[in-house]
Amino acid sequence: MEKFVASMLLSAAGDALGFKNSEWEFQHDGEKIHKQLKDLGGVANLKVSKKNWRVSDDTILHIATGEALVSDWSSKEELYLKLAANY
C-alpha cells in the first residue's frame, strides 16, 4: 500500500508541475516551457503553492479511481458503481 500511495502522490506532483494552473497543459512548444521554467529559477527553485501549482482534472480523476480501487468491492459491477460515484 505504501508504494501505491507514493505513486499517487508522485503522479499528482508531476501533474501539477506539467499543468501549471493550465498554462502548460496544452502548450506543445517544449522550448517555451523550458524557457519559462528557467525564468522561474529551474525546478529546484520553484515556489510551489496550492494557489500557483494546482493539480488538473486528470489528478482528480486519478485519485477518484484510486479510492474506488482500494474500497470494498467484490465484483466488477460494484467497482464500476464505486467509480461512477467517485466521478
How far is residue 16's CA from residue 59's CA, in Å, rounded to a whole number? 8
* 11 marked among binding-site residues: no
Phi, psi torsion values for 85, nearest 5 degrees: -65, -40
| Residue 15 labeled ligand binder | no
Q: Residue 56, annotated ligand binder?
A: yes
Task: Indicate the annotated binding residues for Mg(2+).
Answer: 56-58
Task: Indicate the annotated binding residues.
Answer: 56-58
